């Protein structure tokens, strides 16, 4: 089944508003970060599992990793194969989560907020910093400008293809596009509030990279 950008956006934004944001509100109240994820069936866009960051338990329990853990905790007869699923992350997955998605067998992922949003709007700089510090090796033949321009990861590779919500919105036109932009803006505002709660208590929960 191939879904239109409108259908995918509707599924992602509804899942975010109805299921991920309420869970996130509980998480940030307990000192966890604002990141969430969902796994949906390709066949009907039904939600299989939704989860959010739980770094107060372990710094590895990012929203995506927690979601994958809960997905694989389902009995095998109640869990679709990962190849039959769509992976959605509220924020562009970090290096840990890109690897988690890869190792778990998903052939796609979609995200709402970009790394730059996470750094600039959410005041969490670690995604870009880890990819640059750990993975992005300068080569002697490369100019500093070319190094700066080189992407931090491969958005379309033999394991999966990644697309942002903004790219899906760009597929739309006219009133439909405007409506979807409004929905994204409303969700963005809700996240601003959640981010304020997290930032207000940041540092007290003992998360190494808060």
Interacting residues with Zn ion (CB under 5 A): 62, 94, 96-97
Looking at beta carbons only, is 8 or 124 nearer to Zn ion?
Answer: 124
- 62, 63, 64, 69 alpha-carbon torsion, rounded to 10°: 80
State the Cα–Cα distance between residues 99 and 31, nearest whole angstrom: 25
Contact between residue 110 and residue 165 where contact means Cβ atoms under 8 Å apart: yes
Looking at beta carbons only, is 54 or 62 nearer to Zn ion?
Answer: 62
Looking at beta carbons only, is 62 or 109 nearer to Zn ion?
Answer: 62
| CB 194, min distance to Zn ion, A | 17
Sheet with strand 161-164: strands edge to edge: 47-52, 36-41, 85-91, 108-113, 161-164
State the Cα–Cα distance between residues 21 and 180, nearest whole angstrom: 18
State the Cα–Cα distance between residues 52 and 23, nearest whole angstrom: 7
Looking at beta carbons only, is 40 or 101 nearer to Zn ion?
Answer: 101
| CB 97, min distance to Zn ion, A | 3
| 8-state DSSP, 19 | I
| CB 115, min distance to Zn ion, A | 11
Q: Residue 194 is encoded by which pair of tokens?
A: 């959640």
Looking at beta carbons only, is 6 or 114 nearer to Zn ion?
Answer: 114
| 8-state DSSP, 82 | G
Contact between residue 20 and residue 90 where contact means Cβ atoms under 8 Å apart: yes
| CB 75, min distance to Zn ion, A | 26
Residue 136: strand, helix, or coil: coil
| CB 108, min distance to Zn ion, A | 17
State the Cα–Cα distance between residues 114 and 93, nearest whole angstrom: 9
Looking at beta carbons only, is 45 or 96 nearer to Zn ion?
Answer: 96
| CB 7, min distance to Zn ion, A | 27
């Amino acid at each position: 089944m191939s879904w239109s950008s409108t259908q995918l956006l509707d599924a992602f934004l509804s899942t975010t508003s109805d299921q991920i944001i309420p869970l996130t509100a509980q998480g940030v109240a307990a000192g966890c970060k604002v990141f969430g994820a969902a796994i949906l069936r390709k066949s009907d866009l039904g939600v299989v599992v939704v989860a959010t960051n739980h770094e107060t338990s372990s710094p590895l329990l990012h929203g995506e990793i927690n979601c994958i853990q809960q997905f694989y905790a389902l009995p095998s007869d109640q869990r679709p194969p990962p190849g039959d699923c769509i992976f959605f992350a509220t924020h562009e997955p970090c290096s840990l989560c890109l690897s988690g998605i890869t190792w778990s067998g998903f052939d796609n992922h979609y995200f709402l907020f970009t790394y730059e949003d996470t750094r600039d709007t959410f005041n969490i700089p670690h995604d870009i910093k880890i990819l640059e510090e750990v993975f992005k090796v300068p080569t002697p033949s490369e100019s500093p400008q070319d190094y700066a321009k080189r992407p931090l990861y491969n958005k379309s590779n033999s394991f999966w293809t990644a697309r942002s919500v903004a790219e899906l919105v760009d597929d739309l036109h006219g009133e439909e596009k405007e409506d979807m932009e409004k929905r994204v803006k409303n969700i963005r505002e809700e996240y601003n509030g959640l981010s304020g709660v997290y930032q207000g208590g940041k540092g007290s929960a003992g998360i190494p990279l808060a």
